[in-house]
Amino acid sequence: MQTHDSPPPDPGATVAAAARLARRIRRHSLQMVSSARLGHPGGDLSSADILATLYSGVLRINPRNPAEAGRDRFIMSKGHCSAALYAVLAESGFFPVERLGEYMKPLSMLNGHPDRNKVRGVEANTGPLGHGLPIAVGAAKAAKVQGASWRTFVLTGDGELQEGSNWEAAMAAAQFRLDNLTLIVDRNRLQQGDETERTVSLEPLAARWSAFGWAVREVDGHDLRALARTFGELPFEPGRPNCILARTHKGRGVSFMEDRVEWHHKVPTEAELAAALLEIGEDPQ
Amino acid sequence: MNNLHDCRKAFARTLLELAEADARVVAVVNDSVGSSNLKEFRKKFPDRLINVGIAEQNMVGIGAGLANGGLMPFVCGASCFLTGRALEQVKVDLGYSRSNVKLCGMSSGVAYGELGPTHHSIEDMAWTRAIANMTVIVPADPAETSAALRAAAAHEGPVFLRLSRMPVPDIHPADYEFRIGRAGRLRDGSDVTLIANGVMVCRALEAAALLEKDGIEAGVLNMSTVRPLDTQAIAEAAMTGPIVTVEEHTVVGGLGSAVAEAVVESHPVRMRRLGFPGEFAPTGSPEFLFEHFGLTPEKIRLAALKVVEESARVICAVDPRG
């Protein structure tokens, strides 16, 4: 992560830091879901590289003062992937990593869906889908009204885009010319029950966002270098909100979870957890 | 009733004053600049009037985001759509998130009259008062509308202001001091207490005047804050005798329910709950509907007489000397 006064990050170092962070997000997420016997590991893993990139130099935030008025806002609209969000916040210094073990335990601050009044670094209470983008539009508009330079980022799922409130927000963002707003879609092509295209089709998704007045980029959502480069090019066009369609795979990083719809909210057994952690690997010495 | 007022004027004037004094104040509308009386606001603060179009879910979410970004949004729209259409956003983005957003539900109750049940907002008190962290205020006249708006701005957290366009007389003096969560005792009386809010307060006062001619001393409580509820004022009213609640709302879950909940847990007494009886209204003007559903001073009087009589009978039955 980058504070206001820190120098621009070195791209090579940023990618290495993001890779290390992504690995930790994946390990923590699976351990948390396994320990809680609840969660959404498929989406945690598909969004891990996006989160790791955002928190490795893109977001201008200060874990020592999470409420700093001029901070960039990151809103996790896919609140069910709370394990990945908590993991990246803890690894970024918002709260101790040891507390991840409390995930969904009785009276824990780490509820199944994030609560901004309990967890430092959480910007919005999400869980019901289609809430994050309207809130992000409001935050970005607030910066414009005040002439402030901080930016707003929001990560949605792809199935989530079936919620109509997103498209209300999409129209408003274009109308308000919110080029300080960036939507990242975790386009893993799977929703809870099936493929998005076999449920209610989202394609042609890039053309849809474009038609709604957004500047759209498509990127491999697991290519840390490409993600960093794409974020580095913001804003894509003056006067237009930014949409990054990140092509991802649900369960990415664990062969037996990848692109398997059941891992939306399946809990790994002890043996599966061990095998998954082995595949993900540990921090290099 | 003479000198009747549309409370939206007091609302618009006060919001403008708040905006002049506090740069955080912005208005958010769903193409409702006219119906929310915000043309003057738009003229004075064009950059602080945010029109999201006809999209209430988005409007409430945007309100939460504006608050996250350091502003104090007053989110204004017809109450039926603002609450009903966006209820999950009200619950999650405002209540659960404790966002500093002020929801201004315009033309609540049956103000839209003949437009019908789609446009009536007679469930909004029930919906909003069920949501944790929400403050719910139903002002009765221009002075209280103005004071409630200022109190909402001074309060850190989500507030639902249930406003009306129905003409009402001045009840409170211009320097009236409103406090969130404190009921206003407008009239003392030891035989029965009429508890009302919003546009029903003036009707309850008229009913009390009629009851005086019947030899019945009726107290009148203005329960403008429905959440948090002034349970002490309700308990004190219950100590003196039976209670009649009057609301421009369904009797399911609104003011009458809130008062009944407090009464049974403090000092159970006979009650009558006047309001819309849990059915969608037929076609008719607001005044027609008030007549149709017994929300006039005369019908309030009759309900009060009945509950006083029933109450006396119960006391006789319990006390053989009575």
Looking at residue B174, its pLDDT comes to: 86
Q: Report the number of distinct structural domains present in chain A.
A: 1
Q: Do domains B7-169 and B184-318 have the same CATH topology?
A: yes
Specify the CATH class of B7-169 in words.
Answer: alpha beta
Domain boundaries, chain B: 7-169, 184-318
Looking at residue A140, its pLDDT comes to: 98
* B319: confidence class by pLDDT, cuts 50, 70, 90: low
Q: What is the pLDDT of residues A128-175, one digit of tens each?
A: 999 999 999 999 999 999 999 999 999 999 999 999 999 999 999 999
Q: Please check whether residue B46 touches A, CB under 8 A.
A: no
Contacts of A183 in chain B (CB under 8 A): none
**B82 and B103 Cβ atoms separated by less than 8 Å:** yes
Q: What is the pLDDT of residues B237-252, one digit of tens each?
A: 999 999 999 999 999 9
Q: State the average pLDDT over residues A270-285.
A: 93
Q: Please check whether residue A149 touches B, CB under 8 A.
A: no
- Is it the case that residue A8 has pLDDT exceeding 60? no
How is B214-225 classified by DSSP, letter by letter? TT--EEEEE--E
Q: What is the pLDDT of residues B48-66, one digit of tens each?
A: 999 999 999 999 999 999 9
Residue A134 covered by a domain: yes
CATH at residue A110: 3.40.50.970
* A13: confidence class by pLDDT, cuts 50, 70, 90: confident
| Nearest one of B111, B131, B110, B119 to B276, comparing CA atoms | B110
Contacts of A171 in chain B (CB under 8 A): 53, 55
- A interface mutation test: which of B29, B30, B31, B52 has the most A CBs within 10 A? B52
Residue A1 covered by a domain: no
Residue A124 covered by a domain: yes
* A220: confidence class by pLDDT, cuts 50, 70, 90: very high
Q: Do B97 and A145 touch (CB under 8 A)?
A: no
Among A125, A133, A172, select the one facing B92 at the smallest CB separation.
A125
Q: Which CATH architecture has domain B184-318?
A: 3-Layer(aba) Sandwich (3.40)
How is B179-205 classified by DSSP, letter by letter? -TT--EEEE--SSEEEEE-GGGHHHHH
ipTM score here? 0.94
Nearest CA in chain A to B47: A145
Q: Kindly list the distances between the CA atom of residue B197 and the CA atoms of B130, B205, B269, in Å, as whole numbers in the listed order.
A: 18, 11, 20
Mean pLDDT computed over every residue of chain B: 96
C-alpha span between A223 and A257 (Å, rounded): 19
For the CA atoms of B41, B199, B277, B244, what is the dihedral angle to 10 degrees?
140
Task: Quickly count: other Cβ atoms within 10 Å of residue A262's Cβ.
Answer: 12
Residue A204 covered by a domain: yes
Q: What is the pLDDT of residues B119-165, one digit of tens each?
A: 999 999 999 999 999 999 999 999 999 999 999 999 999 999 999 99
C-alpha span between A133 and B65 (Å, rounded): 9
C-alpha span between B85 and A151 (Å, rounded): 29
Residue A285 covered by a domain: no
Residue A5 covered by a domain: no
Range of the domain at A207: 11-280
Residue A6 covered by a domain: no
